Amino acid sequence: MANELKLTWENLENAVRNCRGCELCRGRTNTVLGRGCCRAPLMFVGEGPGRQEDEQGLPFVGAAGQLLDLALASLSFGEEDYYIANVVKCRPPGNRNPQPAEAQSCLGFLRAQFALIRPSIIVCLGSVAHTNLVSAEESITRARGKWIEKKGVWFMSTFHPAALLRDESKKLPFWQDLKSAKQKLEEVKAGRRLQAVQGSAQQ
The residues binding ligand URA (CB under 6 A) are: 46-50, 53, 59-60, 62, 64-65, 86, 162
Contact 66, 173 (CB under 8 A): no
Q: Closest separation between CB of residue 96 and ligand URA, Å?
A: 12
Q: Which is nearer to ligand URA, 136 or 196 (CB)?
A: 136
Separation CA 129–CA 114 (nearest Å): 14
Query: What does the DSSP assignment read for 66-120?
Result: HHHHHHHHHTT--GGGEEEEES-SSPPGGGPPPPHHHHHHHHHHHHHHHHHH--S
Q: Closest separation between CB of residue 196 and ligand URA, Å?
A: 32
Which residue from 28, 200, 33, 35 is spatially nearest to 110, judged by alpha carbons?
33
Q: Closest separation between CB of residue 137 and ligand URA, Å?
A: 22
Give me the residue whose beta carbon is nearest to ligand URA. 46
Q: Closest separation between CB of residue 125 and ligand URA, Å?
A: 6
H/E segment holding residue 142: helix 140-143
H/E segment holding residue 71: helix 63-74
DSSP letter assigned to residue 123: E
Residue 94 has φ and ψ, to the nearest 5°, of 60, 20
Q: Closest separation between CB of residue 62 and ligand URA, Å?
A: 6
